[in-house]
Amino acid sequence: MSSSGFRLKSDVEKPRFTDLFASISEEDEGYSVQVRLYDQARPENAAWGEEIADSVETASMLVEALAAEFSIPQARIKIEIRMSNLTTGTRH
């Protein structure tokens, strides 16, 4: 299954998803975007994927496109963002 630039893996032929979890992490080459789509009523119906984006804005647009494609409302989307702070050498 391919969607919005993501190569999603799913065991379900015609998936229905109610929730989306995304993790956006700053990397050396850009931003790693990992997503998991799932149906809260049937957790075995899940798909996941990973892409590299050149900016946090592009990463955000990928997540937005997936949510729109599967009609997932904003209240059912959880996003974790990890950024490097190069001036202090810490992650937050």
Give the pLDDT confidence of 72-83 residue by residue, as tens digits. Answer: 999 999 999 998
Would you state the CATH architecture of domain 2-83? 2-Layer Sandwich (3.30)
Residues 6+ apart with CB under 8 A from 74: 67
pTM of the model: 0.75
Distance CA 50, CA 8 (A): 8
Q: What is the pLDDT of residues 54-77, one digit of tens each?
A: 999 999 999 999 999 999 999 999
How far is 69 from 85, CA to CA, in rounded Å? 33
